[in-house]
Chains A and B, each alone.
Chain A
Amino acid sequence: MHDDESAGNALGALAGEPVPMATTSVEDVIRKGKRRLRVQRVATVGGVAAVVAVIAAGTLLFRPDGSGSGVPVASQPTAPSTGALAGYSPVPRAPGPGDVHTSPIGPPPTGTTFTTTTTKLPVGAGVGDRCDAVFLTPAHAPGLPKSTVDQTLLHAYYTTTGHNPVAVRPSGRDTVDRTDGTVQRVVVEDKAGELVLDLSVHGGTPQEAANASLGPAPECATPRRKTLSDGTVMQLYPRGSKAQLLQVFTPSGRTYLLTLIPDIQWPLTEEQLATVADEVAKLG
């Protein structure tokens, strides 16, 4: 290999290299491909749910007439649970369509600039059908170190279920094309399905962000809610045919979205999902 030409020719010989027997079947690939499609569809819902929270919270907080505190939902942090999970109680209907606007958006929560796009929620993901919503994408997504998020989610998953997941895939860009890498994402894959954690930011208080996330359309599903002593708000949506969502809004301005995606069966029970959310909330 004395010159570039001979080096190139030598590399060309690798093209004829014998290939060992593959262990991957096309059935495996198609199954994973279908799962990836489901994750992408659900990501749209998840992104919308988190983003609507930010926009509406900003809108409600920074109304021109200064009536920013008039959030049109009831408070219920300490109310006894009427749902199946301890600490979670039903949330009244969401704000009407006129309560959510796309621009201008109030001052960003962490000195971040935003871009907006409008989309429709897909059907059957647990949030309802035909819910017009707005994406709000932080130009510089603030977040925790990926490893911290990865380890926390994995630890929470492991301690909750008592068994090892098949795989943990950190972060967004290669997992969900739509996010453009601006939403930090971790996927825990189990034999039964997947648990996806998205991290984004919200404006206003956790309760305002949670209220704003309820969705503008009347047919949107309403979640159950639990509020922790530090002000963290958790919202659990009912199971849809393809996913179940649990949002965690923290006082530091972070929104965690946990999305449970079944494959053969639901990988976690509702109680286990809530326990994972409790652990994730400790990230602050």
Chain B
Amino acid sequence: MRGAAARDAEFADFFAGRFDSTRRVAHAMCGDWSEAEELTQNAFVRLYAKWSSIRMETVDAYLRTVLTRVFLDTRRRGRAREHPVAEPPDRPTAHEFGTEERQALHTALLAVPPRQRAVLVLRFVADLSIEETAQTLKCSTGTVKSQTARGLATLRAAYTEPPCSDRVTATGRT
């Protein structure tokens, strides 16, 4: 049986290695960095509470499941704080996918219903297979396929190509 200090150290290592990537997935789901941090923190708190009984080989899957549930629970309770921001926060500009494109994509993603959005994020942002996504969401692969198709259709309908990106510079908007 692991001691409390060893358990906490092990958890801290896992936290250090996964917190940012989990936050990125959470952000894709909710579209807001502060809420993404809250969702991620809640997921890790729950993970800690189960840490003693979780097998290391399944811990990533468990974390994804918890994060998705936390996200969907907040939407079910109507406490969503989804509001597309007028200006993106200050951060470095990606080389291959500009700030404006990303922002337009996030805005379109928020138009997708939460459960379909969760499927899209797990499939394409977290890069899970259909089977892994079904396992995470506790549903059938058929459901994942149909939700993916519907979600992508909604996303494409909601996506508006940003204007020419020549206004984007290395330091952000001009």
What count of chain B residues pass the 8 Å CB interface test? 51
* 8 A Cβ contacts from B82-119 to A: 89, 91-92, 94, 96-97, 101-102, 105-106, 109
B130 contacts partner chain A, Cβ-Cβ < 8 Å: no
Whether the pair B20, A19 counts as a contact (CB closer than 8 A) is yes
* 8 A Cβ contacts from B51-85 to A: 51, 69-70, 73, 77
- How many angstroms between the C-alpha atoms of A24 and B101 in the bound complex? 28
- How many angstroms between the C-alpha atoms of A170 and B78 in the bound complex? 12
* 8 A Cβ contacts from A9-32 to B: 9-20, 22-24, 26, 28-30, 32
A191 contacts partner chain B, Cβ-Cβ < 8 Å: no
Whether the pair A1, B70 counts as a contact (CB closer than 8 A) is no
Contacts of B20 in A (CB 8 A): 19, 22
Whether the pair A11, B125 counts as a contact (CB closer than 8 A) is yes
A7 contacts partner chain B, Cβ-Cβ < 8 Å: yes
A36 contacts partner chain B, Cβ-Cβ < 8 Å: yes
B120 to chain A, nearest CB (A): 6
Contact with B along A22-46 (1 / 0, CB 8 A): 1110101110111011001000000
Chain A's closest residue to B160 (CB) is A1
A168 to chain B, nearest CB (A): 11
- How many angstroms between the C-alpha atoms of A267 and B7 in the bound complex? 28
Chain B's closest residue to A9 (CB) is B124
Contacts of A15 in B (CB 8 A): 24, 124-127
Select one of A13, A17, A30, A37 contacting B12, CB under 8 A. Answer: A30
Select one of B28, B48, B73 contacting A30, CB under 8 A. Answer: B48
Contacts of A65 in B (CB 8 A): none
Specify which of B19, B48, B156 lies most central, judged by the most chain A CB atoms within 10 Å of its CB: B48
Select one of A17, A29, A37 contacting B24, CB under 8 A. Answer: A17
Chain B's closest residue to A6 (CB) is B156
What count of chain A residues pass the 8 Å CB interface test? 35
- How many angstroms between the C-alpha atoms of A174 and B45 in the bound complex? 12
- How many angstroms between the C-alpha atoms of A20 and B156 in the bound complex? 27
Select one of A17, A29, A173 contacting B27, CB under 8 A. Answer: A17
Select one of B40, B97, B105, B123 contacting A24, CB under 8 A. Answer: B40
A8 contacts partner chain B, Cβ-Cβ < 8 Å: yes
B167 to chain A, nearest CB (A): 19
Whether the pair A22, B156 counts as a contact (CB closer than 8 A) is no
Chain B residues within CB distance 8 Å of chain A: 8, 11-12, 15-16, 19-20, 23-24, 27-28, 33, 37, 40-41, 44-49, 51, 69-70, 73, 77, 89, 91-92, 94, 96-97, 101-102, 105-106, 109, 120-121, 123-127, 149, 152-153, 155-156, 159, 161
Chain A residues within CB distance 8 Å of chain B: 1-4, 7-20, 22-24, 26, 28-30, 32-34, 36-37, 40, 170-171, 173-174
| Interface CB pairs A-B, < 8 A, 15 | A4-B152, A4-B153, A8-B123, A11-B105, A12-B124, A16-B97, A18-B94, A19-B23, A22-B20, A26-B12, A29-B41, A33-B44, A33-B47, A37-B49, A173-B73
